[in-house]
Chains A and B, each alone.
Chain A
Amino acid sequence: MALVLTEEQTLLRDSARGLISDKAPVSHLRNLRDAKDATGFSRDLWKTFAEMGFSGLLVPEQFGGSGLGAVEAGIVMEEIGRTLMPSPFLATSVLAASALSRGGSEAQKAQHLPKIADGSLLAALAIDEGAKHRPLQTKLQAVRSGNGFKLSGDKAFVVDGHTADLLIVAARSAGAAGDRNGLTLFLVDPKAKGLAVERTAMVDSHNAARIVFDNVEVNADSVLGEVDQGYGLLDGVLNIGRGAVASEMVGLSEEVFGRTVMYLKERKQFGKAIGEFQALQHRAAQLYIEIEITRAAVLKALQALDTDLDKAGTAVSVAKARAGATATLAVQEGVQMHGGMGMTDQFDIGFFMKRARVCQELFGDSNFHADQLARGKGY
């Protein structure tokens, strides 16, 4: 497979870019933040996303979606990254759609997937518990009770958790924290008794929640996939999410870089454009090279996810580790090269810096993924 976009993929990119840059430039996020908007994204825009077929991009055609893959999800995420648009796309259309279509029973799929495709159902994946992403360390307890389970424990950093109509929750039904066996995924109604959602305002003005489960009762039909054997499904879904977030960081990095290079050409000091100074030229060139190499690694991972999800882990770790490091460099150079203006809230650059920090943590930072790679290679 060539590491370039096909004609259809290029068309998808162009239509996503057209819509997002038109309807949701960075000022869209800024306005939501300043208004302390309770939803944190635009439901109208989400409707448009559904009408254009984006919300059901990964939903199989038989359930009303487009049945496309990780490469296409990455294309949309990259455009989202360029304008920092807050959108249910990642949590609902990438993570939940992948989890349901890969692990769901026919009944679960038929119940939820068409609603994801038509934009009427919002979902969220609840994984993280501690300060760092460690899915194997999941402690939230699932204790058998009658025909079902009772869930108790805490989840944090649940993207879109405050607006979700459906939660997909990773819980420990057997074994101890750290064990690969004993994890189970559950579909949970956020209005269930004993469940408390606290929206957490985050540094990037995007949406997340902390969720407390206090003996939340779920029946046997709410198990997604196999009891105790949920890790394989979860890992695959997380890898798709990691590829998507890496794509978002590529878009974010490229946008920051483009703005910064433009500033280097416009801003004059000592009687000339600061872009004439070799100290800045070389740093700009280095950043360009980092971004180009990361872009290739991310596309490679997205293609690997579509070719064979079970074998894509290493390529995904490479992509997520690279994208995190590259985005971190891009936003730091962006702020530094914008000088004092880069420190002001009035300039958009700071929004990119904040979002990059969040994307780093999302589903494992560069250290986590470099460590995964090393473990995979046996050192």
Chain B
Amino acid sequence: MSDLEKFRSETRAWLEQNCPPEMRKPMTSDGDTFWGGRNAKYSSDAQRVWFERMRDKGWTVPHWPKEYGGGGLDGEQAKIVRQEMAAIGARQPLTSFGISMLGPALLKYGTEEQKKEHLPKITAGLIRWCQGYSEPNAGSDLASLQTRAESDGDHYVINGQKIWTSYANYADWIFCLVRTDPAAKKHDGISFILFDMASKGVTTKPILLISGYSPFCETFFDNVRVPKSHVVGTVNRGWDVAKYLLQHERAMISGMGERGVGRPLGQIAADSVGADDHGRLDDAQLRSQIASFEVDEAALAAAAERAVDLAKAGQSHPAFSSAMKYYGTELNKRRYEILMSAGGIDALEWESDRSRGGARPRAWLRTKANSIEGGTSEVMLGIVAKRILDLPGA
């Protein structure tokens, strides 16, 4: 047996022994996601046990170095852990923007001191992070952001406003883009800085969305004092860090297109629509929509797997995550259009217990943000056209 096969069988056995049965069921609501943080809440004992076991194993982030609380696994091993978790339907033990966004940027651009300070608290689920990127006048044109950081001795004094800050009202710390040189060209005067959301002068205000949920906030900074040592990377070169982080954010968001809701779409549809005498879904158009969706979903899963393998082989294009982000989010919107059509009038109830508080229509509405957040589909296509295809202009 090769080392990898041995690792796979050990992983399978360990997961079998340690993943509680409740944590192998598909998630049914946002409350099933464990985010960690100072005010972490577990929705069940099983969730706590699963998180703690994975944390102690170093597998909240299997591929990060052990010294920062990761599992120290190489690419092949990490892929095996993912595959074996998927095989039993194991939930992610910890979800966090620290893992999917800040961590990779810190690993590349952070000082040793910054890595030692922040990464172990991310892997251990002690600190929950949020992202301070968009502003009211800096959406797709993110580099025109205006939140300013003025020098005052060893500190910066930060003033301005962010918007669409995901879960800012629950976050402990923020990684934030600020303008440190207002005189420079727009991409050249930005710095990437970290600070505690409990700092004096930080306030958040949730934004009510069409789904009825408020996952995003407006975030205000009023003379917030932050030590200069909290800048990641070089002062005024924060755009490099920001772009690198965005690649990871986009890769994460693209994964939404792959994330099934448990049962296959065809079966979910058959439950409400019914089948004809041949056992085929009794709505020929819907059936063909689902089939072609599932073709594309399987193809996207292969592409995601290949993207990881290409990166490992040093053959990937840095802008490819934009391609995946575009496709994954558009596909996820298709998934929910199909789910709404399959559910018919049952999928229209908004408040009843029967509908779990309108879980499906709210999730459907939530997906409409997928192709906006983290860079719109149009911005993604522009990046692909210019950076990968090298088309001229603009």
12 contacts between A and B (CB under 8 A): A276-B393, A285-B380, A289-B323, A293-B302, A293-B327, A297-B299, A300-B306, A314-B298, A318-B298, A375-B280, A379-B267, A379-B287
List residues of B (273-298) whose CB comes within 8 Å of A's CBs. 275, 279-281, 287-288, 290-292, 294-296, 298
Total residue contacts A-B, CB cutoff 8 A: 143
Of A261, A293, A378, most B-chain CB atoms within 10 Å: A293
A349 interfacial by beta-carbon distance below 8 Å: no
A322 touches B305 (CB 8 A): no
Residues of the B chain whose Cβ atoms lie less than 8 Å from the Cβ of A265: 390-392
Instruction: Establish whether residues B393 and A378, one from each chain, have CB atoms under 8 Å apart when the complex forms.
Output: no
Q: Is the CB of A282 within 8 A of B281?
A: no
Q: Is A35 an interface residue (CB 8 A)?
A: no
Q: Whole-angstrom distance from the CB of A162 to the nearest CB of chain B?
A: 34
Q: Assess the B323–A322 pair: CB atoms within 8 A.
A: no
Quick check: B391 and A282 within 8 Å, CB to CB? no
Closest chain A CB from B392 CB (angstroms): 5
Interface residue? B269 (CB, 8 A): yes
- In the bound complex, residues from chain B placing their C-beta under 8 Å from that of A378 are 266-267, 279
Count B interface residues, CB 8 Å: 47
Given A281-B382, A288-B389, A299-B306, does the pair A377, B299 have CB atoms closer than 8 Å? no
A373 to B289, CA, bound (A): 12
Contact A373 B391 (CB under 8 A): no
A293 to B304, CA, bound (A): 9
Which one of B101-109, B197-205, B309-317 is at the A interface? B309-317
Query: Which residues of chain A come closer than 8 Å to B381, judged between CB atoms?
Result: 281-282, 285-286
Contact with A along B371-388 (1 / 0, CB 8 A): 000000010111011101
Asked if residues B299 and A318 are in contact (CB atoms below 8 Å), the reply is yes
User: Do residues B392 and A282 form an inter-chain contact, with CB atoms below 8 A?
Assistant: no
CA distance in complex: A289, B382 (Å): 12
Q: Smallest CB–CB gap between B116 and chain A, Å?
A: 33
Q: Are the CB atoms of A3 and B305 closer together than 8 Å? A: yes
Assess whether B192 is interfacial by the CB under 8 Å rule: no
Is residue B97 within 8 Å, beta carbon to beta carbon, of the partner chain?
A: no
CB < 8 Å: which of A296, A321, A370 contacts B305? A296
Partner pick for A370 among B267, B291, B384, CB 8 A cutoff: B291
Contacts of B346-394 to chain A: CB distance below 8 A: 378, 380-382, 384-386, 388-394
Q: Please, how many angstroms separate the alpha-carbon atoms of A278 and B386 in the complex?
A: 10
Whether B394 pairs with A321 at a CB distance below 8 angstroms is no
Name the distance in Å between B326's Cβ and chain A's nearest Cβ: 6
Q: How far is the CA of A297 from the CA of B280 in the complex (A)?
A: 26
User: Does B86 interact with chain A (Cβ within 8 Å)?
Assistant: no
* Residues from chain B with Cβ under 8 Å of A131 in the complex: none
Asked if B280 and A4 make an inter-chain contact with CB atoms under 8 angstroms apart, the answer reads no
- In the bound assembly, the distance between CA atoms of A296 and B296 in angstroms comes to 11
Shortest Cβ-Cβ A-B pairs, 3 listed: A379-B266, A276-B393, A297-B299
CB within 8 A of B312: which of A2, A315, A374? A2
How many angstroms from the CA of A4 to the CA of B313 in the assembled complex? Answer: 8
Cα A378 to Cα B291 with chains together (Å)? 11
**Residues on the A chain within 8 Å of B266, using CB:** 374, 377-379
A167 near B: Cβ within 8 Å? no
- Which residues, 283 to 330 on A, are CB-close (under 8 Å) to B? 284-286, 288-289, 292-297, 299-300, 314-315, 317-319, 321-322
Residue interface mask B242-279, A partner, CB < 8 A = 1: 00000000000000000000001011011000010001
Residues from chain A with a CB closer than 8 A to the CB of B279 are: 378
CB–CB A4/B310 < 8 A: yes
Q: Does B130 contact A (CB under 8 A)?
A: no
| Nearest chain B CB to A262 CB, angstrom units | 10
How far is A273 from B295 in the complex, measured between Cα atoms in Å? 36
Are A373 and B302 touching (Cβ within 8 A)? Answer: no
Q: Residues of A contacting B177 with CB < 8 Å?
A: none
Contact A261 B393, CB 8 Å, known A4-B306, A293-B299, A378-B266: no
